[in-house]
């Protein structure tokens, strides 16, 4: 396998609005990010992914871009962005941005021109279609609820949007659109950007016949992803994209790809794949409800272990995926993947160790490194997120009480990941001197950076050691290129695997159960590399207390 510059890197996702507020307006910004680069460096971060910072009306928190060439004034200026690039470079860090090109904002000038004159060439930048007897052209439900089709005022046309109605989908079949997007991407790469995280990219290929599907909900609509599922040919678009942009720069690209078809993985992330890598969402998809968050199945340990294991075994046949516990679209991993008795520092370290030492590119989401958890939400009014509001509505429509629907949203809301970063036990968790745009998690006195920096055994200091082990000259190769081999799969509570590169064999083992376990050790222990319980000695058997994780070098 050809080695790539990004194979051995550790990435960190910043959600700019909630990371650090430099000027006291309650909104995180570029100066805030710059002020925390040393913090990220100390954590061992190489690649920083910024969720969208482009000019936007923020209907979907920046995933609705009004100008691809401008920085949102809430976040700062282009000069400040250049400063961030330069400051990152000084520290040998790479910046990647979010690339949202399935759709733009309805405030983008292309869409404004299209609306102003639906006969102009700009209408063809989007999907403008005639309705069927005054009804929308097809029966698709958008990802955020309601029809995918919105009437174009003063016409009998509708435009297509898979997300909010303020996020019209771009017409990727139009070569002019593709060229505009490629120019924009190259413009950013020319600036010195290291690459992109690529948003919702599987959706760019449409079935242009827009056929109806069997309704699958009380609203009489069918999920629009079914159309995406039913169409072939996204690969050609993705190759065209890559060849005209990323490839020329040796850029690092990580695709947000749901609904990949069976057997397509190597086309996406193989040696000459469309992307460097894609996120592994297999564990997250376990809580996909058939109709929404309200019927999300509960998670159980063995299914989770089997899912992660199978994914690792599949992925290593062709490339690298990016491993996450959480991101800005997901609830906090500690609250989601750990049983209640494990939602504490020991359990948090255990989960982090598994995630970071799997084969793949680890992405840490802001706050994960201090063990941030879901917030307590007292009413639906407290949420900001467009998707949460839709899911609340869907749950109520399905017959859940207000209280039950609130419980569902509290458990699943994307806002759980978007509450401000907890820097200290000062007012507003040290995130802002003003009024935060979204409420701060009430637990910030107990969970924050400043306190954890001082405590040698804190989650933060453990994460620092964990990243350092992964990147150490001694173990870097095995943790980057070593194969993944599951172990102790027959147990009820242990998630364990070897990483093996032919030279070194490492064992990572975690006990998710309430009881201690004692297991045979097929390979004698050479060294204890890491322990969340301060264990420095291991006899001939593997002893793990409840919530203990250990990293061993085997003989």
Judged by beta carbon distances under 5 to 8 A according to partner kind, the member of Ca ion, ligand TEU, none in contact with residue 63 is ligand TEU
Judged by beta carbon distances under 5 to 8 A according to partner kind, the member of ligand TEU, Ca ion, none in contact with residue 27 is Ca ion
CB 377 within 8 A of CB 294: no
Judged by beta carbon distances under 5 to 8 A according to partner kind, the member of Ca ion, ligand TEU, none in contact with residue 553 is none
Q: Which CB sits closer to ligand TEU, 65 or 194? A: 65
- In the sheet that holds 149-151, the strands lie side by side as 128-130, 157-160, 149-151
- Least distance in Å: CB of 181 to Ca ion? 29
68: tokens are 């691809």
**Binding of residue 14 to ligand TEU (CB under 6 A):** no
**Binding of residue 329 to ligand TEU (CB under 6 A):** yes
- Least distance in Å: CB of 125 to ligand TEU? 17
Could you tell me where the beta strands, DSSP code E, fall in 280-427?
A: 321-323, 361-365
Q: Which CB sits closer to Ca ion, 21 or 150? A: 21
- Can you tell me which of 15, 54, 63, 497 binds ligand TEU, judged by CB under 6 A? 63
Distance CA 416, CA 349 (A): 19
- Can you tell me which of 150, 199, 321, 487 binds ligand TEU, judged by CB under 6 A? 199
- Can you tell me which of 60, 80, 415, 548 binds ligand TEU, judged by CB under 6 A? 60
Q: Which CB sits closer to ligand TEU, 348 or 387? A: 387
Identify residues 26-55 at the interface with Ca ion (CB under 5 A): 27, 29
CB-nearest residue to ligand TEU: 63
Q: Dihedral, CA atoms, 452, 343, 486, 328, nearest 10 degrees?
A: -70
CB 465 within 8 A of CB 547: no
Judged by beta carbon distances under 5 to 8 A according to partner kind, the member of ligand TEU, Ca ion, none in contact with residue 284 is none
Q: Residue 489 catalytic?
A: no
- Can you tell me which of 15, 54, 143, 479 binds ligand TEU, judged by CB under 6 A? 143
- Least distance in Å: CB of 39 to Ca ion? 18
- The DSSP-derived string for 444-507 is GGTS-HHHHHH-TTSHHHHHHHHHHHHHSTTTHHHHHHPEEEEE-TTSSSEEEEEEE-SS-EEE
**Binding of residue 98 to Ca ion (CB under 5 A):** no
CA distances from 172 to 119, 200, 259 (A): 18, 14, 19
- Can you tell me which of 200, 227, 286, 469 binds ligand TEU, judged by CB under 6 A? 200
Q: Which positions from 239 to 268 touch ligand TEU by CB under 6 A, shown as an x/- string?
A: -----------------x-x----------
Closest CA to 91 of 49, 53, 47: 47
CB 352 within 8 A of CB 475: no
Q: Out of 166, 199, 326, 415, which one is annotated catalytic?
A: 199
- Least distance in Å: CB of 328 to ligand TEU? 6
Q: Residue 492 catalytic?
A: no
Q: Which CB sits closer to Ca ion, 432 or 546? A: 432
Q: Which CB sits closer to ligand TEU, 306 or 329? A: 329
Q: Which CB sits closer to ligand TEU, 143 or 498? A: 143
CB 380 within 8 A of CB 409: yes
- Least distance in Å: CB of 55 to Ca ion? 15
Distance CA 372, CA 352 (A): 12
- Least distance in Å: CB of 18 to Ca ion? 11
Distance CA 368, CA 364 (A): 6
CA distances from 530 to 96, 243, 468, 480 (A): 30, 42, 11, 17
Query: HSE (CB half, 13 Å, CA atoms) of 534?
Result: 3
Identify residues 413-472 at the interface with ligand TEU (CB under 6 A): 414
- Can you tell me which of 10, 27, 88, 100 binds ligand TEU, judged by CB under 6 A? 100
Q: Which CB sits closer to Ca ion, 27 or 123? A: 27
Phi and psi dihedrals of 153, rounded to 5? -50, 140
- In the sheet that holds 483-487, the strands lie side by side as 483-487, 494-500, 505-511, 549-554, 525-531
Q: Which CB sits closer to ligand TEU, 6 or 163? A: 163
CB-nearest residue to Ca ion: 29
**Binding of residue 197 to ligand TEU (CB under 6 A):** no
Q: Which CB sits closer to ligand TEU, 143 or 320? A: 143
18: tokens are 């909630």
**Binding of residue 387 to ligand TEU (CB under 6 A):** yes
Q: Dihedral, CA atoms, 235, 13, 551, 454, nearest 10 degrees?
A: 180
Phi and psi dihedrals of 159, rounded to 5? -110, 155
Q: Which CB sits closer to ligand TEU, 65 or 361? A: 65
**Binding of residue 264 to Ca ion (CB under 5 A):** no
Distance CA 96, CA 21 (A): 20
**Binding of residue 392 to ligand TEU (CB under 6 A):** no
Q: Dihedral, CA atoms, 102, 381, 288, 302, nearest 10 degrees?
A: 130
**Binding of residue 21 to Ca ion (CB under 5 A):** yes
Judged by beta carbon distances under 5 to 8 A according to partner kind, the member of ligand TEU, Ca ion, none in contact with residue 329 is ligand TEU
- Cβ neighbours for 487, distance < 8 A, ≥ 6 positions apart: 496, 497, 498, 507, 509, 522
**Binding of residue 166 to ligand TEU (CB under 6 A):** no
Q: Report the interface residues with ligand TEU, using CB under 6 A.
A: 60, 63, 100, 143, 163, 199-200, 256, 258, 328-329, 387, 414
Residues designated catalytic:
199, 256
Q: Report the interface residues with Ca ion, using CB under 5 A.
A: 21, 23, 25, 27, 29
């Amino acid at each position: 396998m050809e080695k790539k510059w990004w194979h051995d890197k550790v990435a960190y996702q910043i959600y700019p609005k909630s990371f650090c507020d430099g000027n006291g307006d309650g909104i995180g910004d570029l100066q805030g990010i710059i002020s925390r680069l040393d913090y990220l460096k100390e954590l061992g971060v190489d690649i920083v992914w910024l969720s969208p910072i482009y000019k936007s009306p923020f209907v979907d928190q920046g995933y609705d871009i009004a100008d691809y060439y401008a920085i949102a004034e809430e976040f700062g200026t282009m000069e400040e962005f250049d400063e961030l690039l330069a400051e990152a470079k000084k520290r040998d860090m790479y910046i990647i941005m979010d690339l949202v090109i399935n759709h733009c904002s309805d405030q983008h000038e292309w869409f404004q021109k299209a609306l102003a004159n639906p006969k102009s060439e700009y209408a063809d930048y989007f999907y403008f279609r005639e309705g069927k007897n005054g009804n929308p052209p097809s029966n698709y439900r958008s990802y955020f609820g309601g029809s995918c089709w919105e009437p174009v005022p003063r016409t009998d046309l509708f435009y297509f949007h898979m997300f909010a109605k303020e996020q019209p989908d771009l017409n990727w079949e139009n070569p002019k659109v593709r060229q505009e997007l490629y120019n924009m991407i190259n413009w950013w790469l020319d600036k010195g950007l290291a690459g992109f995280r690529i948003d919702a990219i599987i959706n760019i290929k449409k079935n242009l016949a827009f056929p109806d599907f069997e309704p699958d909900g009380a609203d009489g609509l069918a999920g629009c992803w079914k159309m995406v599922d039913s169409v072939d040919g996204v690969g050609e678009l993705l190759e065209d994209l890559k060849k005209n942009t990323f490839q020329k720069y040796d850029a690092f690209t990580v695709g947000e790809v749901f609904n990949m078809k069976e057997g397509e993985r190597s086309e996406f992330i193989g040696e000459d794949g469309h992307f460097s890598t894609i996120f592994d969402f297999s564990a997250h998809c376990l809580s996909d409800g058939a109709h929404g968050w309200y019927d999300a199945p509960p998670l159980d340990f063995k299914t989770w272990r089997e899912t992660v294991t199978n994914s690792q075994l599949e992925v290593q046949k062709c490339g690298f995926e990016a491993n996450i516990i959480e991101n800005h679209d997901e609830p906090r991993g500690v609250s989601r993947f750990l049983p209640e008795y494990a939602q504490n520092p020991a359990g948090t370290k255990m989960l982090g160790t598994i995630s970071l030492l799997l084969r793949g590119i680890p992405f840490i989401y802001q706050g994960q490194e201090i063990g941030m958890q879901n917030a307590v939400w007292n009413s639906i009014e407290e949420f900001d997120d467009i998707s949460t509001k839709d899911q609340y509505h869907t749950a109520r429509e399905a017959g859940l009480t207000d209280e039950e629907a609130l419980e569902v949203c509290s458990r699943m809301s994307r806002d759980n990941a978007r509450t401000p970063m907890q820097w200290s036990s000062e007012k507003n968790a040290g995130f802002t001197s003003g009024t935060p745009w979204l409420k701060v998690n009430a637990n910030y006195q107990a969970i924050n950076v400043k306190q954890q920096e001082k405590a040698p055994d804190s989650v933060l200091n453990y994460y620092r050691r964990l990243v350092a082990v992964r990147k150490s000259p001694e173990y870097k190769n095995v943790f980057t290129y070593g194969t993944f081999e599951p172990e102790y799969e027959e147990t009820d509570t242990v998630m364990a695997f070897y990483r093996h590169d032919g030279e070194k064999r490492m064992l990572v083992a975690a006990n998710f159960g309430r009881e201690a376990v004692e297991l045979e050790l097929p390979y004698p222990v050479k060294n204890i590399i890491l322990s969340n319980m301060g264990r420095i000695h291991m006899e001939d058997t593997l002893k793990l207390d409840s919530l203990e994780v250990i990293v061993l070098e085997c003989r």
